Amino acid sequence: MASRHELGEPVVVVEGVEKSFGALKVLKDVALTVRRGETVCIIGPSGSGKSTLLRCINGLVPISKGSIKLAGREVNDKNLDKLSLRRDVGIVFQQYNLFPHKNALQNVMMAPIHVLKQDKAEVEARARKLLAKVGLSDKLSTYPGELSGGQQQRVAIARSLAMNPKVMLFDEVTAALDPETKKEVLVTIQDLAAEGMTCILVTHEMGFAREVADHVYFTDGGLIVEHAAPAELFGNPREERTKAFLDKVL
């Protein structure tokens, strides 16, 4: 199932990354490479540092040691314009985090207008297309509070896509959803991956990881225990720890 399309040059290169919150070491020597067009899933027990790693990639959380290169630029560089970096990275959160005072269409239009200073009419046309793409053409003027979790999450995906990111990060985006709405969101991400968008997902959806990912990383205790193509990692894990985890969740 993997590698349905040609993979390009590395977009995200993580090397020797460490991150501590006070005395707590959340990431210990993490390395990971994601190529253009690749879909990578990071799985592992809660508290293994998966979400922190994602937040490090777009500079929301500064790293303590190591290097993260995004499209050739060092994320950890103090002189780097963090804002321009973040425009290249879309991130979708578990709790959607839409702007509650704006309707669906406005949520998608805000950042391109405010941050990229793009023309309003063009942005609106694109936002309408994006919302159609995530199946929400009939919810343009609906406010987040009136949307279901799955619908909110799809608006959040459209909102990130509106910035034309080079890579999309998904932080347990279906964890708060019921099985039915979960499906809507996963299908949206799958379509995106099929179109060649570079995607990094932190997820507990083993079925999705197995089916859609090109590569799967298993993390535990701030370490990458092992990584491989999904068929291999799920079918024939090398490490005992991976085996024990998969036995529990599958």
Q: Interface with another protein by CB under 8 A: which residues?
A: 58, 60, 83-84, 86-87, 89-91, 93, 95, 97-101, 110-111, 114-116, 142-147, 156, 159-160, 163
Q: 82 with 160: CB under 8 angstroms?
A: no
Nearest to another protein of 83, 249 (CB atom) = 83
CB of 94 to another protein, least distance (A): 9
For residues 242 and 104, give the distance between their C-alpha atoms in angstroms, rounded to a whole number: 40
Nearest to another protein of 60, 228 (CB atom) = 60
Closest CA to 16 of 58, 88, 76: 76
Exposed/middle/buried for 13, CB within 10 Å: 0-12, 13-18, 19+? middle
CB of 250 to another protein, least distance (A): 31
CB of 175 to another protein, least distance (A): 14
57-66 residues labelled b (16+ CB within 10 A) or e (exposed) = bbbebebeeb
Q: 156 with 98: CB under 8 angstroms?
A: yes
CB of 99 to another protein, least distance (A): 6
CB of 136 to another protein, least distance (A): 15
Nearest to another protein of 28, 143 (CB atom) = 143
The alpha-helical segments, DSSP class H, found in the chain are: 50-57, 82-88, 104-114, 120-133, 149-161, 179-194, 206-212, 230-235, 240-249
Nearest to another protein of 115, 194 (CB atom) = 115
Nearest to another protein of 83, 121 (CB atom) = 83
Nearest to another protein of 148, 221 (CB atom) = 148
Nearest to another protein of 40, 163 (CB atom) = 163
Is the alpha carbon torsion for 173, 236, 218, 75 positive or negative?
Answer: negative
178: left (phi over 0), alpha (psi -120 to 50) or beta: beta
For residues 245 and 250, give the distance between their C-alpha atoms in angstroms, rounded to a whole number: 9
CB of 238 to another protein, least distance (A): 35
Q: 127 with 109: CB under 8 angstroms?
A: yes
116 sits in which H/E element? none
